[in-house]
Structure 1
Amino acid sequence: MIPQRIVLASAVGLVSAFLLAACGSSDHDASGTNAGAAAVAPASSDPAASAPTASAPADAGDSGGGHKATTTLLMAKAVKGMGTVVTDDKGMTLYRYDRDQATPSKWTCAGACTKTWMPVMVQGSVRTMGVEKSLLGTVHRNGMKQVTLAGWPLYRYLGDSSAGQMNGQRMGGQWYAVTPTGHKSAVTG
């Protein structure tokens, strides 16, 4: 009977430790924005390389949302009736957030925000098709790298369920599909 109690107590302890670690401390306010903006690391001065390499999946956000992203290709794609925007290797539209800053690159979408707007994370290099390689870069995000275009951190929208959709366009008046030059798409979609 005593060994069973020891095993049970150990299991409860491990589960408790895991839950506490998952909750962790955060310097993000309730709105999901970064309350300590000064703590955000500036963008890497090294632009993302253009040579193709396989990228391992990386956690897409700092919220523990579990979204995984493998982006090794950014491409300009004409979306019917919506103009030319940047997509990932699966044709999913990429977005920029007006609250983020392009110079120096800083991200403000954090916490719950990253469950809807998944940061485009990368390990290694990025290939491009129709996107100016000199405009690519990264910003450090909790020990990982988020892809930037013309200094703007890039995101995917959870509401886009298939290639070519732009359901996040003008969401909240602050989210816009990104053009191959890093500007926000003027399409009102």
Structure 2
Amino acid sequence: MWMATPKKSSPVIQHRIVLASAAGLVCAFLLAACDSSNSDVSGTSAAGVAPVASAPATSASATLAPAGGGDSGSGQTATVRAEAVKGGGSVVTDGTGATLYRYDKDRPNPSRWTCAGACVKTWIPVIVPDSVRTVGVEKSLLGTVHRDGRKQLTLGGWPLYRYVGDTGAGQLNGQGKDGEWYAVTPSGGKSVF
């Protein structure tokens, strides 16, 4: 009876496996560091925006119901939080501190997005995995709407976006753009400061 002897893997393949494993570990450490680097010792974000005082003492996780086909990154968790802004009021930001916006031409009930084509190059839809962690935002107001096989986050029924003109945490450069784009409040309303 003939038996095949196991082949030794080549040094090139072993080298690629080691590099791929190292790259994966580096990515995991960077992602973990990003989540913990949003706050400094004083409790403010890197942009100097303090969390809203009414934020709950502990974070709540809201598992979002699937909004159609496509996998948006099962096993991952996105974060949305309420943050106070200079000049009064509070807005919702993502885990990196980027302000989230709503579009007056979209519809909240049922959730419908109208920003498409060239619009999404300026206003980037907030695509989320199945799980979203909230801080100071009522988890019952969160939802998703199907968008090209992925899930776009909604708040109070309004689809949410990031503005390309906001290049750092806490910026509000999209506020009031074209009289149709507004930073979203923790209740899903539009900020009017």
Normalised to the residue count of structure 2, the TM-score between the two structures is 0.61
Identity %: 65
Alignment partner for residue 163 of structure 2, among 133, 157, 165? 157
2:148 pairs with 1:142? yes
Distance (whole Å) between structure 1 residues aligned to residue 174 and residue 146 of structure 2: 24
Could you tell me how far apart the structure 2 residues matched to 1:133 and 1:83 are? 19
1:131 equivalenced with 2:137 (yes/no): yes
Q: 2:104 aligns with which of 98, 101, 104?
A: 98
Shift of 1:124: 1.6
> Which residue of structure 1 lines up, in the alignment, with residue 62 of structure 2?
50
Deviations 1:120-166 (A, max 9, x none): 00122101000000000000001110000000000000000011110
Q: Is the 8 A contact 1:71 1:88 kept in 2?
A: no
Give the direction of change, closer, same or farther, for the CA distance of 1:95–1:71 in structure 2 (3 Å limit): farther
**How has the CA–CA distance of structure 1 residues 84 and 71 changed in structure 2, closer, same or farther, with 3 Å as cutoff?**
farther
Partner of 1:79: 85
Distance 1:110 1:71 in 2: 25
| Residue 88 in structure 1 maps to residue 94 in structure 2 | yes
Secondary structure of the residue aligned to 1:121 is coil
Unaligned runs of 5+ in 1: 1-48, 58-69
| Paired AA for residue 62 in structure 2 | S
- 3-state DSSP class of the match of 1:126? strand
Secondary structure of 1:122's partner? Answer: coil
Q: Give the conservation status (yes or no) of the 8 Å contact 2:77–2:131.
A: no
Contact 1:96 1:177 survives alignment (8 Å): yes
User: What per-residue deviation string (whole Å, max 9, x for no partner) do you get for residues 97-136 of structure 1?
Assistant: 0000001100000011000000000122101000000000
Q: Which amino acid aligns with 2:182?
A: Y
- Cα distance in 1 between the residues matched to 2:110 and 2:101: 18
Structure 2: give runs of 5+ residues left out of the alignment: 1-60, 64-71
Please tell me the root mean square deviation across aligned C-alpha atoms, in Å.
Answer: 2.0
Q: 1:154 to 1:89 in 2, by over 3 A?
A: same
Paired residue secondary structure (1:87): strand
CA distance in 2, matches of 1:156, 1:123: 16
Equivalent residues of 2:92, 2:183 under 8 A apart:
yes
Q: Distance in 2 between matches of 1:71 and 1:110?
A: 25
Give the Cα–Cα distance (whole angstroms) in 1 for the partners of residues 175 and 62 of structure 2. Answer: 28
Amino acid of the structure 2 residue aligned with 1:50: A
